[in-house]
């Protein structure tokens, strides 16, 4: 069971003075059956006049900060010490995807009713025939949902090109599908749109992943980035995570920070401010195995 130290730094430098701002940060990983948070800290510069912590609707930890003094920059630094494990896939075959779809449609129990929201369109994840068609060749009649989902994940990895800067968060998803290129949030949104268009529940996951330098090259501090993947729900079995950006299932290399319907629910930082004008953003993420620390 590896132990990681995750350092996430986000800094905003403003062209003009900001007189007041309020921010929400979703950077704190939560405990789960495959993830144990040993410690977490989150600092803010300038020092906030008020701050608090609460859980949101999805169970994510949200940190609120209010800065009431004039400032020309703001910087958040989070540090997490976390243990992770490899998830266990079920020994038995998962049910056919049609069975899962029909089960959710007939949901009457409170825990099942909550799952319905993950079959519906959301801010960045539309649904429709064009997205359902993307998954048709993998979701054949009677095929087990996890088997079909895994193959679809691998096909997105093989058929879509990772290209930083090819899209923004505001690029319509049908344009991403047409270009067949983008970044992790695009691939995750495409996956969600396809499965939700088939009536299947799945959610967006944000977090971090351990990366490796090229052979013979040293690790670069802060060279990593936050990551996104998806979770597919199977009644009676729970959530199973797949990463279409890398074409594989979740392993101990992944640290989950937050879950939601799409990126809008889990963006690491969001807020409002008065003043500021144009700004520059610098984000640095470092995911390091603790045993390799000096």
- Residue 220 pLDDT: 62
Q: Please, which pLDDT band fits residue 216 given cuts at 50, 70 and 90?
A: confident
- Residue 7 pLDDT: 96
Q: State the chain's mean pLDDT as an integer.
A: 92
pLDDT over 90 at 287, yes or no: yes
Using a 10 angstrom Cβ sphere, with 0-12 exposed, 13-18 middle and 19 or more buried, the burial of residue 291 is exposed
pLDDT over 90 at 55, yes or no: yes
The tokens describing 11, both together, are 């800094």
Domain ranges of the chain: 3-85+267-292, 97-266
Across 62-74, average pLDDT: 96
pLDDT over 70 at 221, yes or no: no
Across 121-139, average pLDDT: 96
Across 202-217, average pLDDT: 88
- The answer to which of 51-60, 111-120, 230-239, 284-293 has the lowest mean pLDDT is 284-293
- Residue 223 pLDDT: 61
Q: Which residue has the higher pLDDT, 230 or 106?
A: 230
According to CATH, the topology of domain 3-85+267-292 is Immunoglobulin-like (2.60.40)
How many whole angstroms separate alpha carbon 289 and alpha carbon 5?
A: 6
Could you tell me which of 179, 205, 176, 224 has the C-alpha nearest to residue 263? 205
How many whole angstroms separate alpha carbon 162 and alpha carbon 184?
A: 8
- Residue 293 pLDDT: 42
Q: What architecture (CATH level 2) is domain 97-266? A: Roll (3.10)
pTM of this structure: 0.93
pLDDT over 50 at 294, yes or no: no
Q: What is the pLDDT of residues 172-204, one digit of tens each?
A: 999 999 999 999 999 999 999 999 999 999 999
Across 2-25, average pLDDT: 96
Across 15-33, average pLDDT: 95
Q: Which residue has the higher pLDDT, 90 or 294?
A: 90
């Amino acid at each position: 069971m590896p132990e990681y130290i995750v350092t996430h730094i986000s800094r905003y430098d403003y062209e003009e003075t900001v007189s007041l701002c309020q921010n929400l940060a979703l950077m704190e990983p939560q405990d789960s059956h495959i993830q144990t948070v040993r410690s977490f800290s989150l600092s803010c510069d300038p020092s906030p006049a008020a701050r608090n912590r609460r859980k949101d609707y999805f169970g994510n930890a949200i940190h609120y900060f209010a800065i009431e003094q004039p400032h020309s920059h703001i910087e958040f630094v989070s540090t997490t010490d976390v243990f992770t494990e490899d998830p266990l896939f079920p020994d038995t075959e998962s049910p056919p995807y049609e069975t899962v779809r029909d089960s959710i449609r007939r949901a009457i129990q409170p825990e099942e009713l909550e799952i319905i929201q993950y079959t519906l369109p959301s801010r960045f994840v539309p649904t429709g025939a064009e997205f359902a068609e993307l998954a048709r060749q993998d979701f054949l009649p009677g095929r087990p949902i996890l088997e079909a989902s895994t193959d679809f994940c691998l096909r997105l990895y093989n058929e879509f090109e990772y290209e930083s800067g090819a899209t923004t968060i505001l690029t319509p998803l049908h344009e991403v599908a047409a270009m067949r290129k983008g970044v992790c949030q695009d691939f995750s949104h495409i996956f969600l749109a396809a499965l939700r268009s088939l009536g299947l529940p799945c959610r967006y996951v944000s977090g971090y992943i351990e990366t490796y330098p090229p052979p013979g090259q040293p690790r670069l501090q802060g060279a990593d980035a936050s990551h996104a993947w998806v979770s597919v729900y199977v009644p009676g079995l729970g959530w199973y995570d797949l990463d279409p950006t890398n074409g594989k299932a979740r392993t101990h290399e992944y640290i989950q920070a937050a879950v939601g319907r799409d990126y809008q629910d889990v963006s690491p930082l969001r807020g409002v401010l008065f003043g500021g004008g144009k700004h520059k953003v610098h984000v640095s993420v470092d995911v390091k195995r603790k045993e390799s620390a000096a």
